[in-house]
Every structure is written in structure tokens, then in C-alpha cells.
A = this chain, B = another copy of it.
């Protein structure tokens, strides 16, 4: 049994081998739950063609009994559905590249989506193996893909600290929006670690190991670090990088499009905002680069701790050029930095300044 990915024809492809692609923003904003064929794809190697009937996931390390679980075994465990955003640590990297050069694909604001993920809580899987659960332990994952030589050339691997692994919303997931995971999204099994960067929700899960240290695999040990702004590729020092976990407050304007020619007058503006495990409490929009602001209307899609917030508003645009901005506020009264310069780092991660675009009204 395979589950091929039917790539939406409008996906914007940053690279075909491995496939890295994101949806156009208006398509992304068209539904609160992102369809599988529109969810951004971030791959570090070729997509493994796994047989869902034969695939097994090992559980070992500091456990009372080692397990080898089939997909059916995981599906037979307690099932939990969690509504959660999945987003790439490199989302909006293109905005940082406009400041100074950065490494990596120039992701726009489409490297994100929200879905209902269904699986067994990872904690239940660990409990079935009689895993130790002390502070200071980590749950490491190994995957069935082989990464590009530049990504370590080995199977993809990351880990979660035990506290995150045991969070009831952290899943060994087999379904997205009620459908089996498509191949590009991790068929047959992936981790979903809500609120954290997508890197920590590995796809094509093949092994779970409980251990006393973070994963030594390339993705965990040598990549996905937030480096300080003074560091450059030739001065890279892993010890000064912060391992990326939860994602910062962010937002995007999904319409109008950058460079749009619009009819002067009232212009509809819409987008999304996201705040890890916090609620988004306000979104401000500006037609003059942030000198003056009005408040967008936040749409009600029901409370969900790990979801995103859709918003819309109207800006009055007289004839001429305008810089539209959006910024979000979370439940801790936190807002975003104004300029991409304020979050620049040479790997281009966690780009989360005000979203800005220029349009013309006539």
C-alpha cells in the first residue's frame, strides 16, 4: 500500500529533487484547514516509497520492553485528533534575504498550514514500551529517508525533550484531515509536535529511541540553530546556536499580492496570524508602512490551542503607491519586530517581522 502525493498544480516549487514547495497565499487562505495537496512540502532527500502494510517502527533505548509496531498496531492504540499548525523554521526566509544573503530556499509566507492530525499520543507509545520518563531524557526519532549529502547524507533524525514528547498533544500521526498521510507528508507515520518548528515533526518515522541526550543526527545536532546576528558561515559556531523548538509570533497578508495594481478606495486585506501555544488577540493593519494602524477582524473558527487565526479588514487606499503592513499581538501583549533586519541570521530562520508589501492604487 502506497499513498502517492498529488501535488497541487499551483504549488510554488523551490526545488524538485528533493521536493520543496509551498502554496500561493490566496490558495492557502481559502480554507482554515489546509488540504494535503496544498500543504507546503519540505524534504531533505528523496521521498521513501514505503509500504504501509509492511512498515514497522521500532521503540528501544531506555525502555522496559523493545517494540516493533506496525501501522495497524499504532492505529489500534487510543486515537487522538489535534488541530495544529505545521510550519517550517525557514518560513518567510525570502524577507531576510532582502536584508543580507542567507542560506537555504527562499520560502515565502506559505511554508505553513493547519490541519487536524490524528494518531496515537507519543506518550501512549512510550508507555506501551515501559519507557523511562525522567527529566533530562530525550526521545530520538530516525526516519526512512536518506538526506542529501549537504544535509548529512544519512537518515533524517531529530529528538524531543521528554516533557514535549509526553505532552498529550504530541502524536505518532497517521492521518491529516481524516485522510491517510500522503507520501510527501510522511506516509505511513510521522511525528506531530504542535507549536514547534516542522523540523521536530519528522516524517516516515522508522525508529523511536529513549536516550539521555538529544539526537546526534545532522538535523538536530548541526542544523536548525538560531545563530546570533553577528555570525556568518565562516564563523559558524554550533555552541552559540539555539536549537529551534517553538515558533515565534508571526502573521502574513495573503491578499492583496505584492505589487498588485488595485482600484483606489476601500481595499479588502486578509491573512493569517499564528502564536505557538498562545492566542492571537489582535492584528493591526497599516496602509502607510506602520505610521498609522487599524484593527483587523479576527475570524472565529473555534478555540484551538495550536491553531492559527484568520483575519480580514479594509484599508482605504487613495491613488498612489502604498506600503501595506500587518502585525499580530498575542495573549502576553507581545508583538512582532518591525523590520526583517531585527531578526536576521545567516541561516534565515524564524523570520517574523511585520509582513510588508507594496501595492499601487489607481
**A88 lies within 8 A of chain B by Cβ:** no
**A108 lies within 8 A of chain B by Cβ:** no
**A362 lies within 8 A of chain B by Cβ:** no
Contacts of A229 in B (CB 8 A): 284, 292-293
**A177 lies within 8 A of chain B by Cβ:** no
**A99 lies within 8 A of chain B by Cβ:** no
- Interface-centre pick from A240, A247, A335 (highest chain B CB count, 10 A): A335
A309 to B201, CA, bound (A): 30
Known interface pairs A240-B295, A332-B248, A333-B349. Does A282 touch B342 (Cβ–Cβ under 8 Å)?
A: no
Contacts of A244 in B (CB 8 A): 333
A229 to B292, CA, bound (A): 8
**A276 lies within 8 A of chain B by Cβ:** yes
B334 near A334 with CB under 8 A, answer yes
Instruction: Say what secondary structure dominates the interface of chain A.
Output: loop
B228 near A282 with CB under 8 A, answer yes
Choose among B242, B245, B247, B249 the residue that contacts A329 (Cβ–Cβ < 8 A).
B242
B281 near A242 with CB under 8 A, answer yes
Choose among B240, B276, B332 the residue that contacts A247 (Cβ–Cβ < 8 A).
B332
Interface contacts beyond A230-B292, A242-B282, A245-B332: sample of 4 additional A-B pairs, CB < 8 Å, sorted by A = A247-B333, A248-B335, A334-B334, A338-B338
**A226 lies within 8 A of chain B by Cβ:** yes
Contacts of A332 in B (CB 8 A): 245-249, 276
30 inter-chain pairs at a CB distance below 8 angstroms, sorted by A residue, are A226-B329, A228-B282, A228-B293, A228-B294, A228-B295, A229-B284, A229-B292, A229-B293, A230-B293, A230-B294, A240-B295, A242-B282, A242-B329, A242-B333, A244-B333, A245-B331, A245-B333, A246-B333, A247-B332, A247-B333, A248-B332, A248-B333, A248-B334, A248-B335, A249-B332, A249-B334, A334-B352, A335-B337, A337-B338, A338-B338
Contacts of A352 in B (CB 8 A): 333-334
**A339 lies within 8 A of chain B by Cβ:** yes
